[in-house]
């Protein structure tokens, strides 16, 4: 339980489609709050286990925990247990929670139940992040109907919508009829102002409850292949993390593209004795975003973690990935591979706004 019952930490739920920049924003926001003297924690969420984002948070020394094996709504009891765990470990002011990027109906299944715990927590307005490039893709009539369904539902239940990656997309919002903030975790643009709005502003949390067809929702999520892979890479000659990650990401991208498998989000994290590196793309052939020790020295051991979300058959995706591993010109050991389609969502609790 929370050590000090008179102290209520704020829970800030940050949603958005896969690759929208949720983790980047949360980690940037946590650093700003810690500079203000506030104590933060991050709770990450995934259908599987072994998350790149958890490794990234640890590398940046941000206090973090996970809820795995299902989305927050389907594992709400586990979310409460983790919240209690982080609150018991230290007195926190803000807890950021990042749901799975393919999930929706969170206002009713996560914010609603959390608001029933208002004697213990302050629940902040629900922010949904939008990658402008993804928005343009999914707003197109020729775009993927499953992904577009999830994207639209996420927007419909947002208390606050924010365009991300303002450094890459400095133009105005693609949604001309919707008021949006513009954010950039990389440069810090708009992050402090966003924090002030969700923590101290007047927006209501969970003001919109979706009318959603759960059969259609399940169909859309099941169209994704969800792959988490970890292994140790030991090259014959030591190489820096950038040399280990760059060609690996290119090879996976090329193989998936050749097989006509659409990349929705691909992340690679390398932890080596000389430094860490993360690279990610949100589409086939995209220029990767990279952060970490680009100038790290060569290392003989690289602990690699790959999270891939793709539109395709899990068995085909797994076979492709296994073939790529066999082609690596280095020793590969301690391999753990999990590939599946998400199960149909079955929320533990669902509370409409008028039930609060």
pLDDT by residue for the chain (356 residues), tens only, comes to 334 456 899 999 999 999 999 999 999 999 999 999 999 999 999 999 999 999 999 999 999 999 999 999 999 999 999 999 999 999 999 999 999 999 999 999 999 999 998 889 999 999 999 999 999 888 877 779 999 999 999 999 999 999 999 888 877 555 655 668 899 999 999 999 999 999 999 999 999 999 999 999 999 999 999 999 999 999 999 999 999 999 999 999 999 999 999 999 999 999 999 999 999 999 999 999 999 999 999 999 999 999 999 999 999 999 999 999 999 989 999 999 999 999 999 999 998 765 44
CA pair distance 352, 356, nearest whole angstrom: 7
Of the candidates 157, 13, 159, 6, the one whose C-alpha atom is nearest the C-alpha of residue 83 is: 13
Helix orientation angle between 22-35 and 52-59, rounded to the nearest 10 degrees: 20
CA pair distance 101, 110, nearest whole angstrom: 14
Every domain range in the chain assigned CATH 3.40.50.300: 10-220+345-355
DSSP annotation of 163: E
The structural architecture, per CATH, of the domain 224-340 is 2-Layer Sandwich (3.30)
Phi-psi group of 50: left, alpha or beta (phi > 0 → left; psi -120 to 50 → alpha; rest → beta): left
* 157, 190 Cβ separation under 8 angstroms: no
* 311, 264 Cβ separation under 8 angstroms: yes
Bridge pairing between strands 127-130 and 10-16: parallel
CA pair distance 124, 13, nearest whole angstrom: 7
DSSP annotation of 354: G
Intra-chain end-to-end CA distance of the chain, in Å: 23
Every domain range in the chain assigned CATH 3.30.70: 224-340
Tokens 């206002």 correspond to 107
CA pair distance 229, 223, nearest whole angstrom: 20
Instruction: Give the CATH fold of the 10-220+345-355 domain.
Output: Rossmann fold (3.40.50)
| Helix, coil or strand: residue 44 | strand
CA pair distance 172, 175, nearest whole angstrom: 9
Tokens 């979300």 correspond to 309
CB atoms within 10 A of CB 303: 16
User: What CA dihedral angle connects 108, 113, 118 and 124, to 10 degrees?
Assistant: -40
Of the candidates 194, 2, 22, 182, the one whose C-alpha atom is nearest the C-alpha of residue 102 is: 22
Tokens 């932890």 correspond to 271
Of the candidates 48, 49, 52, the one whose C-alpha atom is nearest the C-alpha of residue 19 is: 52
Which residues, in sequence order, are bridge partners of residue 280?
Answer: 267, 289
CA atoms within 13 A on the CB side of 14: 33
* 114, 108 Cβ separation under 8 angstroms: no
| pTM given for the model | 0.93
User: What CA dihedral angle connects 182, 187, 192 and 195, to 10 degrees?
Assistant: 60
């Amino acid at each position: 339980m929370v050590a000090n019952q008179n102290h209520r930490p704020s829970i800030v739920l940050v949603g958005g489609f896969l690759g929208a920049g949720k983790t980047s924003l949360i980690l940037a926001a946590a650093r700003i709050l810690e500079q203000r003297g506030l104590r933060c924690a991050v709770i990450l969420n995934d259908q599987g286990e072994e998350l790149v984002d958890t490794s990234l948070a640890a590398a940046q020394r941000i206090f973090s925990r996970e809820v795995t094996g299902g989305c927050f709504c389907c594992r709400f009891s586990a979310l409460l247990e983790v919240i209690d765990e982080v609150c018991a470990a230290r007195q926190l002011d803000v807890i950021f929670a990042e749901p799975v990027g393919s999930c929706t109906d969170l206002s009713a299944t996560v914010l609603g139940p959390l608001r029933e715990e208002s004697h213990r927590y302050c629940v902040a307005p629900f922010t949904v992040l939008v990658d402008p490039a993804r928005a343009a893709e999914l707003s197109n009539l020729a775009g993927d109907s499953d992904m577009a369904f999830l994207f639209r539902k996420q927007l419909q239940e947002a208390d606050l919508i924010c365009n991300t990656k303002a450094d890459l997309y400095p133009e105005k919002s693609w949604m001309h009829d919707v008021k949006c903030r513009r954010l950039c975790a990389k440069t810090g643009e708009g992050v402090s102002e966003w924090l002030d709005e969700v923590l101290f502003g007047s927006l209501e949390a969970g003001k919109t409850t979706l009318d959603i067809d759960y059969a259609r929702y399940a169909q859309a999520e099941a169209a994704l292949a969800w792959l988490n892979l970890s292994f140790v890479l030991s090259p014959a000659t030591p190489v820096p993390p950038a040399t280990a990650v760059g060609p690996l990401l290119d090879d996976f991208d090329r193989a998936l593209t050749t097989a006509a498998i659409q990349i929705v989000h691909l992340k690679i994290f390398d932890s080596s004795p000389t430094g860490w590196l993360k690279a990610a793309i949100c589409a086939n052939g995209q220029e990767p975003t990279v952060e970490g020790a680009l100038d790290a020295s060569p290392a003989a051991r690289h602990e690699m973690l790959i999270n891939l979300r793709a539109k395709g058959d899990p068995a085909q995706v797994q076979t492709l990935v296994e073939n790529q591993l066999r082609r690596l010109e280095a020793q590969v050991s301690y391999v753990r591979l999990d590939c599946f389609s998400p199960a149909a969502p079955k929320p533990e609790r669902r509370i409409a706004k008028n039930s609060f």
